[in-house]
Amino acid sequence: MSWRELERLVRDGETRAEIRRALCGCRNDVELLLRSRRLGYRITRVDLQQAWLEHQVELEQQPERLQAGKGRRASC
């Protein structure tokens, strides 16, 4: 599993403008995977699915956060 690579991608996306710009145009998971791989990150579809599932569990454990963030999307 390439979970560490996904963590590295997220960290770099948060701190490096060029990575953030490269990923902001992604319209779906397939584009995100392809662009990430071109940038040298070895992430998989399973990594994205696992991250999404973990995020859903976190949201369910914090209902006030779910309501506050409902309908909002991370900005690029």
Instruction: Using the predicted structure, report yes or no on whether residue 70 has a pLDDT greater than 60.
Output: no
Lowest mean pLDDT among 12-16, 40-44, 47-51, 57-61: 57-61
- For residue 66, the surrounding DSSP H or E stretch is helix 63-69
Would you state the pLDDT for residue 2?
A: 84
Encoded tokens for 63: 């209902």
Alpha carbons within 13 A on the beta-carbon side of 60: 6
Q: Please compute the mean of the pLDDT values over residues 28-57 and round it to a whole number.
A: 93
User: What pTM does this model have?
Assistant: 0.73
Q: Give the model's pLDDT for residue 61.
A: 86
Angle of the 17-24 helix axis to the 3-15 helix axis, nearest 10: 110
Interior/surface letters 16-30, b for 16+ CB within 10 angstroms, e for the rest: eeebeeebeeeeeee
Query: In the prediction, which pLDDT does 5 show?
Result: 93
